Structures are given as structure tokens and as C-alpha cells.
Amino acid sequence: DIQMTQSPSTLSASEGDRVTITCRASQTIRSWVAWYQQKPGKAPKFLIYKASSLGSGVPSRFSGSGSGTEFTLTISSLQPDDFATYYCQQYTSYPYTFGQGTKLEIK
């Protein structure tokens, strides 16, 4: 199985900050990575597919990059609504796997 490892596990930041979350795959997955946002008590919300393609309606302050084994999710200027937990997911092959999550907290 392909392991997805996110770092950091927790990130403290302030409104307006630029933040980056990293996701590393245990083997190459080309660009087959998606990112999701989850708020407490809510279902995950899709953000990005194919490493860097923004989902419909997702604010442009979110961006993704990477290929092969290393991927990043960047939020260019944090808004209050962005404090949540973020997950990466590989879909190059079954079993699909998620990273363990990165909790973005208010500093």
C-alpha cells in the first residue's frame, strides 16, 4: 500500500499568514493527489485534484503543487474560515490512502 505522510501534524498561524502543508508518498504517484478540508463535526470538503487543479468554487488563495512523491498545499493569506484540518489522498491505485491530517490552528 502507498503510505501518505503529512507534515506538520499541527500548524499554528495567524490570519493573513501564508502557510504550506507537505504530503509525501511512499512511492511515486505522479500527480494523482487530492486535498480536502474538514471542520469539526462536518464532512470533508474537496479542494484540489491532480495535485494542482482547484475544485469548482474553491477560493484562489488555495493552491497545490508537486509530482512524484512530494506535494504541497499552500494557503496564500489565511482567512478565519481556513482554520481546519487538511488531508491529502492518493488515487493512483487501490487501496486509496489518506495522509494522517494537518490541523491548522489559530496562533
Partner 1 sequence: EVQLLESGGGLVHPGGSLGLSCTASGFIFSNYAMTWVRQAPGKGLEWVSSIDGSGTGTYYAASVKGRFTISRDNSKNTLYLQMNSLRAEDTALYYCAKDTSNNGWFDPWGQGTLVTVSS
Task: Give the binding site for partner 1 (CB under 8 A).
Answer: 1, 32, 34, 36, 38, 43-46, 49, 55, 87, 89, 91-92, 94-101
Name 90's Cβ contacts closer than 8 Å, sequence gap at least 6: 2, 4, 25, 29, 32, 33, 96, 97
How near is the Cβ of 75 to partner 1 at its closest, in Å? 19
How near is the Cβ of 15 to partner 1 at its closest, in Å? 26
Nearer residue to partner 1 within complex by CB, 82 or 102: 102
Nearer residue to partner 1 within complex by CB, 35 or 82: 35
Among 81, 82, 64, smallest CA distance to 72 is for: 64
φ/ψ of 80, rounded to 5, equals -55, -30
Nearer residue to partner 1 within complex by CB, 94 or 107: 94
Residues 99, 23: contact at Cβ < 8 Å? yes
